[in-house]
Amino acid sequence: MSTQTTWPENVIARYLTVGGATVDLSHEDLSDKAKATQAACTGCQESQQSKWADQYHSYGTSTYVDFQNPDKGDRNARSWAQSHADTCRALPMPSAPAVLTPAAEPAPKRRLWLPARCPKPTA
């Protein structure tokens, strides 16, 4: 099992993909009156937005009344997130860029055609 990490801000649910990435669900304000539930994969970067917009028929006036239904948006986003998590094999994006450690510099090669210098004898 993977280690537990802290969730990003505003994430309301997470789904673990087959490849080890996550599909994060969050609420977004599209405008003053419109809202949506956003599902975004951290592996393949695919996303889906489920709007909360809904309406019902007002039988007394023969018109439709618009309202925001968060359950509708959450239900659709959760369904998409679950099906995407079942099939996505993308690996999660690394949190920090990989740092390559420089290899140790090899010792200089000795030229075999030159004699090795011997220390001078001390008297």
DSSP 52-112: -EEEEEETTTTEEEEEE-HHHHHHHHHHHHHHHHHH--PPPPPSS---PPPPPPPPPPPPT
Please indicate, yes or no, if residue 111 is contained in any of the structural domains: no
Max intra-chain CA distance, the chain? 121
Look at residue 8 in the predicted model and tell me its pLDDT.
Answer: 86
DSSP reduced 3-state for 36: strand
pLDDT, averaged per 10 consecutive residues of the chain (123 residues), comes to 75 92 92 89 92 80 81 91 93 71 73 65 70
| Enclosing domain of residue 69 | 11-87
Please indicate, yes or no, if residue 5 is contained in any of the structural domains: no
Burial 45-67 (b: 16+ CB within 10 A, else e): eeebebbbbeeeeeeeeeeeeee
Look at residue 91 in the predicted model and tell me its pLDDT.
Answer: 86
Look at residue 96 in the predicted model and tell me its pLDDT.
Answer: 64
Please indicate, yes or no, if residue 27 is contained in any of the structural domains: yes
For tokens 């690394």, name the residue: 94
Q: How many domains, the chain?
A: 1
Please indicate, yes or no, if residue 93 is contained in any of the structural domains: no
Look at residue 37 in the predicted model and tell me its pLDDT.
Answer: 92
Please indicate, yes or no, if residue 2 is contained in any of the structural domains: no
